[in-house]
């Protein structure tokens, strides 16, 4: 993902940089570097961002509901819970 895509996704989710970093289980400085373009996301964090972005694009009418889900995922388990739910949703399609 490009720095612009990372920033756009965070803004679409209406998250602060700190909360976005927590969602992806990375340090806030890492998220800041992604947004500035000095580094690019890789691994699980990149996969989650792509999955979230794809889901938001595929079902724009459900974006608000999905954003609430993402925020709830943070409260009860963060990245692991979110990954499980994303793959569960993909498997039921």
Tokens of residue 22, six digits: 């927590």
10 touches 3 (CB < 8 A):
no
8-47 tens-digit pLDDT = 999 999 899 998 998 888 999 999 999 999 999 999 899 9
Q: Over the stretch 57-92, which tens digit does the pLDDT of each residue have?
A: 888 888 888 888 777 777 776 666 667 667 776 656
pLDDT of res. 64: 86
| pTM for this entry | 0.77
Measured CA to CA, the distance from residue 47 to residue 72 in angstroms comes to 19
């Amino acid at each position: 993902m490009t720095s612009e895509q990372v920033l756009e996704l965070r803004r679409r989710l209406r998250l602060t940089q700190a909360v976005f970093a927590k969602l992806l289980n990375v340090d806030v400085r890492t998220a800041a570097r992604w947004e500035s373009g000095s580094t690019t996301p890789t691994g699980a964090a990149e996969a989650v961002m792509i999955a979230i972005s794809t889901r938001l694009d595929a079902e724009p009418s459900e974006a608000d509901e999905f954003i609430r889900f993402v925020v709830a995922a943070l409260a009860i388990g963060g990245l692991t819970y979110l990954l499980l739910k994303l793959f569960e949703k993909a498997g039921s399609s």
